[in-house]
Amino acid sequence: MEYNLAVSIDKASGFCFGVVYAIDMAEDILDQEPYLYCLGDIVHNDEEVKRLTKKGLRIIDHDDLCLLQGEKVLIRAHGEAPSTYELALKNGLTLIDASCPVVLKLQNRIKTSYDENEQILIFGKHGHAEVIGLQGQTNGNAIVFQDIAELDNIELPSRFTLYSQTTKSTDKFYAIKDELLRRGYDVNANDTICRQVSNRYSDLEKFVQHYDKIVFVSGKKSSNGKVLFDVCKKFNPASYFISNLEDLDKSWFKPNDKVGICGATSTPMWLMEQVKAQLQEY
């Protein structure tokens, strides 16, 4: 049976400028040199990481970094803690810093707050690369939480400064701020969410309502992927999350369905194009 699907890709989806910057930097070096080390996945998308490792990108972790001497190492868009820069100096490493400007600005703001002896709370995902870099600005003293319930059993000071990981939901951030104010805390709240991410909420809300089915393409590790997929589901319940072509399921579709494809800020356009081609073969 031919499905004859009408498939469109969301023009506003795909890499944000921070990811484009990091990948362009990596590709420029790999055009000249046989390999380049990268501290952590350059982007939270396994398919794009596979493409770049074939070009010579070598993904390492912090334990590997300790063993390197005199090599070039790329710092990805998520940014790093000060300790990484100190280690690089000690080991004679050349850091190619592709930290996203939005993340760098946030790191500087958190460091300034910490230097002024403010108690800092960060709304962010535990263990996320960006959050580790942010907490590093405070020598690990900031309180990180991804859900307000985590704060129930913590003795908080009456006054503190609240920041957010750049890819979190703006709605959740303001709901947390309002709840903390309601509980009587003096909260200096800083909305540090990247507008390249948050502006996609309204774009996606409009996009998904024009289609029978939505295929959302994202790596499973992507924080903004989870947030943006929730937006898709909210405004079009017939939304499906996939990370690669193998995740597609024909049974999701009916003949002549209008299908919209969209993705996270870490989803490459070439992968969404592949998904479109596959759907058009049904």
Burial class of residue 215 (count of CB atoms within 10 Å of its CB; 0-12, 13-18, 19+): buried
- Are 217 and 272 in contact by the 8 Å Cβ rule? The answer is yes
Spatial CB neighbours of 201, under 8 Å, sequence gap ≥ 6? 169, 170, 228, 231
Sign of torsion, CA 129 134 140 146? negative
Burial class of residue 250 (count of CB atoms within 10 Å of its CB; 0-12, 13-18, 19+): exposed
Provide Rg for the chain, Cα atoms: 21
CA distance 140 to 48: 31
Q: Which of 27, 48, 118, 130 is catalytic?
A: 130
Instruction: Give yes or no: 155 in active site.
Output: no
Structure tokens at 198: 């948050």
Which residues are marked as active site?
130
